[in-house]
């Protein structure tokens, strides 16, 4: 348990670097950031926030089921958590696709109103870095949950040995917390101005 | 090593509802022009949500002092990272040229 917490602290500082980078650039280019943020698909970001919070609930309930030694409920809640994680990634993929079509991916094909052209690219670079790294953590989380589901299925997890479920849960909740910060910082800045 | 304390299910459901309400609040607050307070409001709600997840979903409320120490250490180091970097960048505009 403690080992996972120490790992999560390193993860906090890993993501922290990106959040600091975001803060510095947003401090420099507030208008471009607001204009670029306005282009993100708000319903998708909001839905995904609710999806991840719900997956955190099912994860917490999975730990509860494991503590009670209820294998069937544990399997159901792990399946629900994985399904919600997959829904999140599906919506994220839909967003990436839309942003690609609208030429919001930084690089040669980037298109944006002339006034904010250069600095909006900074926003979208950070957006793809931060959400991409978060999505990678989600994919790893789904891998961990698959192993947990396998262990629960074959009966390795009992009411005496549910530590792996708790530890995996810590990781899953951490990834949820990262999104709790990403959502307002990426999707909601400058919603009132446009 | 087990967490001796089994958190009742109703606690999880209550926290879940608060988290959803907070998400709705963040979204609604962002529509109003509060100036710099928009960011303050968004981050305050986000920190509140994160604290709920850490304390209840991640069981820190019921954990040992050593776990508390590690978690606080993480937050403290993140604060150093943010404070020292931003104290440089955010104050560059204050320079007076001889």
Q: Is the dihedral of CA A185, B19, B40, A20 positive or negative?
A: negative
Please tell me the predicted confidence (pLDDT) of residue B1.
Answer: 46
Report the SS3 class of residue B58. coil
Please tell me the predicted confidence (pLDDT) of residue B36.
Answer: 84
State how far the Cα of A1 lies from the Cα of A98, in Å rounded to an integer. 40
Residue in this structure with the two tokens 């790294």, named with its chain if needed: A133
- Chain-wide mean pLDDT for chain B? 91
Interval B33-44 mean pLDDT: 91
Q: What is the Cβ-side half-sphere exposure of residue A38, based on CA atoms within 13 angstroms?
A: 16
Same domain flag for B22 and B49: yes
Q: For an interface test with B, which of A162, A180, A189 has the most B Cβ atoms less than 10 Å from its Cβ? A: A180
Same domain flag for B9 and B44: yes
Inspect the interface and report whether the beta carbons of B78 and A8 lie closer than 8 Å.
no
Range of the domain at B4: 1-63
Report field, pTM of the whole predicted structure over 0.90: yes
Q: What is the pLDDT of residues A14-52, one digit of tens each?
A: 999 999 999 999 999 999 999 999 999 999 999 999 999
Q: For an interface test with B, which of A7, A16, A17, A76 has the most B Cβ atoms less than 10 Å from its Cβ? A: A16
Residue in this structure with the two tokens 């990262």, named with its chain if needed: A178
Which CATH code is given to the segment(s) A2-187? 1.20.120.80
Domains of chain A, residue spans: 2-187
Q: Which of A:41-100 have CB within 8 Å of B?
A: 42, 46, 49-50, 53-54, 56-57, 59-61, 64, 67-68
Same domain flag for B17 and B55: yes
Distance from CA of A113 to the nearest CA of B (A): 22
The total number of structural domains that make up chain B: 2
Are the C-beta atoms of A79 and A182 separated by less than 8 Å?
Answer: no
State how far the Cα of A130 lies from the Cα of A17, in Å rounded to an integer. 10
Are the C-beta atoms of A40 and A126 separated by less than 8 Å?
Answer: no
Distance from CA of A69 to the nearest CA of B (A): 12
Q: What is the pLDDT of residues A54-112, one digit of tens each?
A: 999 999 999 999 999 999 999 999 999 999 999 999 999 999 999 999 999 999 999 99
Same domain flag for B32 and B2: yes
Are the C-beta atoms of A170 and B58 separated by less than 8 Å?
Answer: yes
Are the C-beta atoms of A178 and A137 separated by less than 8 Å?
Answer: yes
Name the percent of chain B in helix, strand, coil, to the closest 5.
75, 0, 25
Please tell me the predicted confidence (pLDDT) of residue A194.
Answer: 53
Q: What is the pLDDT of residues B69-92, one digit of tens each?
A: 999 999 999 999 999 999 988 888
Q: Which residue of A27, A61, A163 is in closest CB contact with B90? A: A27
Q: Does residue B42 carry a pLDDT above 60?
A: yes
């Amino acid at each position: 348990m403690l080992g996972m917490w120490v790992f999560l602290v390193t993860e906090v500082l890993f993501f922290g670097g990106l959040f600091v980078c975001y803060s510095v650039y947003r401090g420099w280019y507030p208008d471009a950031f607001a204009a670029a943020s306005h282009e993100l698909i708000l319903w998708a970001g909001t839905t995904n926030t609710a999806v991840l919070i719900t997956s955190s609930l099912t994860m917490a309930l999975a730990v509860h089921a494991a503590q009670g030694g209820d294998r069937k409920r544990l399997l159901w809640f792990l399946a629900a958590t994985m399904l919600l994680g997959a829904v999140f990634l599906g919506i994220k993929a839909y967003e990436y696709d839309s942003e690609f079509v609208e030429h919001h991916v930084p690089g040669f094909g980037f298109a944006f109103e002339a006034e904010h052209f250069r600095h909006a690219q900074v926003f979208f670079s950070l957006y793809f870095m931060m959400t991409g790294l978060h999505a990678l953590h989600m994919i790893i989380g789904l891998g961990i949950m698959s192993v947990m589901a396998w262990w629960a299925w074959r009966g390795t997890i009992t009411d005496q040995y549910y530590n792996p479920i708790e530890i995996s849960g810590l990781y899953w909740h951490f990834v949820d917390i990262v999104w709790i910060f990403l959502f307002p910082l990426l999707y909601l800045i400058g919603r009132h101005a446009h | 090593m087990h967490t001796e304390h089994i958190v009742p299910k109703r606690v999880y459901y209550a926290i879940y509802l608060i988290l959803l309400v907070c998400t709705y609040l963040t979204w609604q607050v962002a529509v109003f022009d509060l100036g710099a307070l928009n960011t303050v409001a968004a981050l305050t709600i986000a920190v509140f949500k994160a604290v709920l997840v850490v304390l209840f979903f991640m069981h820190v409320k019921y954990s040992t002092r050593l776990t508390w120490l590690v978690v606080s250490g993480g937050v403290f180091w993140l604060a150093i990272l943010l404070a020292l970097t931003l104290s440089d960048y955010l104050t560059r505009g204050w320079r007076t040229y001889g």
